[in-house]
A and B are shown apart, each in its own frame.
Chain A
Amino acid sequence: GEDVEQSLFLSVREGDSSVINCTYTDSSSTYLYWYKQEPGAGLQLLTYIFSNMDMKQDQRLTVLLNKKDKHLSLRIADTQTGDSAIYFCAEKGSTDKLIFGTGTRLQVFP
């Protein structure tokens, strides 16, 4: 079946790096995504990675993909208070629908 799992909470100090992890079960995943959701808002795309890549860097964001272990991570360098939000991992398989995890709430404290 299709399932995406994430840890529920992460708390980091401002200026440190944050690493949010995700595991998925669908071996036919083509793309994997990270979205950010602030309170009461929709989903903002942060970045995505094609399944035949193992790393993608975009400014402060680094995505690592271990396809063998079906593990995806998002590293945010120099985390700021404005990064506090819920982060969702999502995968797209052979169909065009997205399967989302339950989200990781990132709290950044001064």
Chain B
Amino acid sequence: ETGVTQSPTHLIKTRGQQVTLRCSSQSGHNTVSWYQQALGQGPQFIFQYYREEENGRGNFPPRFSGLQFPNYSSELNVNALELDDSALYLCASSGGLDPTQYFGPGTRLTVL
């Protein structure tokens, strides 16, 4: 069974740029959730995708957007990057009767 993978591992961008982060869900899972974890904080829910449709969104502005593909992998896009977007971005997959979300290793984004 393949676990959740994320790419890239690290990324450095400058203010105003755009970034795309990628996540491959665990085999058999059809739901992907994205979280932002600022330094010293707990993860904050960004949004969730279920069968290619957005299925809930947290308190994040519209410049945070996402996609889910037919193979259930997912992308997180952030436009007009701000310094406060610097964080660890975590993707989690879930599905079936298991109530658990399984997390990937994260992408560390630094905005300069």
Contact = CB atoms under 8 A, between A and B. Distances in A.
A92 B56 CA distance: 13
A100 B58 CA distance: 13
Given A30-B99, A42-B105, A48-B100, A97 B58 contact: yes
A41 B106 contact: yes
A96 B56 contact: yes
B108 to A, nearest CB: 8
B101 A98 contact: yes
Interface in A44-60: 44-45, 48, 50
Q: How extensive is the interface on chain A, given as a class?
A: 20 to 34
Interface in A4-53: 4, 30-31, 33, 35, 40-45, 48, 50
Chain B at the A interface: SS class: strand
A44 B44 CA distance: 16
Interface string A72-99: 0000000000000000101010011111
Interface in B30-79: 31, 33, 35, 40-45, 48, 50, 55-56, 58
A92 B99 CA distance: 9
Contacts of A97: 33, 45, 48, 56, 58
B68 to A, nearest CB: 14
Nearest to B50: A96
A35 B48 contact: no
Contacts of B92: 43, 98
Interface of B: 4, 6, 31, 33, 35, 40-45, 48, 50, 55-56, 58, 90, 92, 94, 99-106, 108
8 contacts: A42-B4, A42-B105, A43-B103, A45-B100, A88-B42, A99-B45, A100-B44, A102-B41
